[in-house]
Structure 1
């Protein structure tokens, strides 16, 4: 069965357009409610969080109606980071967790992603079963068995305490000036609170959400704002989160960017030295830089490559018994602390290394030299399949032939946006650019 609704990270699209309509959210809630109430017993519950998008109100209400119609009790967390839903779903003994967010996408988009009772994202198989229920006639609960909805006022505080607990005991952030960019998103209150309570001098930006400005010129996809603020106030480090705070980009004291690959390199090396890197290995996607792989190889740490998507990283980690993995884009998964990527926890672990070693961010955030890498995106319209075009296939084959023994090529359809992503790596930058240009040109002609 081919999935029609679910992509690499839940269901996502433009708000009030298929599939992100109130009607579809209601059906998804009802289908997921029926899926998790298959035994017919009572007292089932769902935890629902959201980011700061205007459409979150609409989707939250629709999901609540869907879940309660099948007898599920709904616990509403309000605006919280995605990893908070992963943490609080098992903590609150819920059968399922839901996060309403389109992550780093603009405010016009939104998404719905599900977590199982263990706090981990659902498998492809579970999502396909829910899709099948969406398309079928969903049996509602009897009138006396309709679920209730309750707003949980302290969800953010529960998450804040869990996050603070991951910071090493005996250490403090006193003396560090930290710029935190919350992308006008879900962590706009939690992240500054955590840093301040641990002793940092906090300079917060991206903390004035209005329903429309999430990820707009701030956050992990636009670190220039935080870099400028670092230089303005003389901060020691910057932490840039995305809209739902499950990814992070770090900035050193000069404003230079360190992506997820550099963060993972630092943590893997440190944990390996301490003997706490499980499996003496790291899971990362096919997008991670070749420089990371070489850095790990030199230290005897194995890199396991996965498909793009933090969910697939986590699946590989669980299958292989690993406790560290992530994506170049900034999803850093540390299963000793959380069930999914958590940008704030990753940022805290980096700050702990700064405190422990006394070294500046510029030394810690750049562990290896990257191999030149170029990524370009081509947008396509609904119903188009540019990768099936003969001219595109021929351009890809020609590019692969040119890069044999000199680099690598990765062409894929985005799982979260209508984009074809064309990525190449090679020591010969001119060759890399030429290969990408040829393929992008073929894709653009096809669309």
Structure 2
């Protein structure tokens, strides 16, 4: 279990976005969190648990990870403290074994962990550490490659109900099949560009223009949802249409914006969610 020996040089906290920070600083967390995801899967009776390697809207030099529950939700709050305990412990293996022993009701030896990642240069190496940590504690660990954070959540939930990624993109494509005209999307030079291009192709539509879709242009650099929301301006490299949207680096955040009488007008995600809930409630 050599992959679990590395210890961070400062205390790492598990926040709403999981562990996140400079990729070189948070690196020791990845193998240990892979092992922790394995333990979580065992406690859940062998259900699939996910780990997403991403720092979302942070600069490209950063990275992080989030653990996903078997139903697609984020890691249950009671386990966040356990994540901090095992990541910051001097002896990672000893801490993880102690956590497992604190759940005597779990007799399941089977564990399944799926690992996804965004397009950051450091994500490949860090996802391999997660896979190594999960395997070291006995999990069947699977690399699902470059996916958006919502897709990783879908994969975890659907694998616990015998499905996979393709139905997610097919469902998204079906929602777009009626046709959308005049929509321009800034993909923050992140993983959302790959997913959106595939979804648009599946839908067979041409009304969506995709911008900021290249990894070599800098992830979240003067573009993306966080930039637009904070700066209240159009992202660099983006040509606005009648309606425009920006995703963040892992495509789990989106803002809409438009120009009305030459004035920039932002519709943030909270308002969009309120409109959706109002529609669903009739």
TM-score band, normalised by shorter chain: 0.5 to 0.7
Is it true that 1:252 corresponds to 2:258 in the alignment? yes
Contact 2:212 2:238 in 1 (8 A): no
Which structure ranks higher in relative contact order (CA pairs < 8 Å, sequence separation ≥ 6)?
2
Query: The residue matched to 2:171 in structure 1 has which SS?
Result: helix
Q: Is the 8 A contact 2:212 2:237 kept in 1?
A: no
Partner of 2:131: 64
- Structure 2 residue aligned with 1:195: 200
1:27 positional shift: 1.6
- Report the Cα offset of residue 43 of structure 1: 4.3
d(CA) in 1 for partners of 2:173, 2:238: 27
1:271 & 1:31 partners in 2: Cα distance? 37
**Displacement of 1:228:** 5.3
CA offsets 1:10-66 (integer angstroms, 9 cap, x no match):
11111111xx11x33112212331343244545421111111111111210111100
Q: Does 1:37 align with 2:68?
A: no
Aligned with 1:179: secondary structure?
strand
TM-score by length of 1: 0.41
**How many angstroms apart in 1 are the aligned matches of 2:142 and 2:114?**
5
Q: Which digits, 9 at most, give the CA deviation of each residue in 1:134-166, with x for residues without a partner?
A: xxxxxxxxxxxxxxxxxxxx84x443123234x
Question: Is the Cα–Cα contact under 8 Å of residues 180 and 192 in structure 1 kept in the other structure?
Answer: no
Q: Is the 8 A contact 1:160 1:194 kept in 2?
A: yes
What is the CA-CA distance between 1:222 and the residue it aligns to?
2.6
Which region of structure 1 is more displaced relative to structure 2, 250-259 or 238-247? 250-259
Aligned length: 200
Unaligned segments of structure 1, at least 5 residues:
95-153, 275-447
Question: Are the counterparts in 2 of residues 218 and 225 from structure 1 also a CA contact under 8 Å?
Answer: yes
More deviation, 188-197/8-17: 188-197
Match of residue 121 from structure 1: none
**C-alpha deviations, 1:271-300, integer Å up to 9, x for none?**
34x2xxxxxxxxxxxxxxxxxxxxxxxxxx
Using a 3 Å threshold, how does the CA distance of structure 1 residues 227 and 214 change in structure 2: closer, same or farther? closer
Larger-Rg structure:
1
Q: Is the 8 A contact 1:178 1:202 kept in 2?
A: yes
Structure-to-structure mapping, 1:263-412, within 5 angstroms? 263-272=272-281, 274=282
For structure 2, list consecutive stretches of 5 or more residues without a partner in the other structure.
Answer: 1-10, 44-105, 229-233
Work out the CA distance in 1 between the residues paired with 2:274 and 2:237: 22
1:215 lines up with 2:220 in the alignment = yes
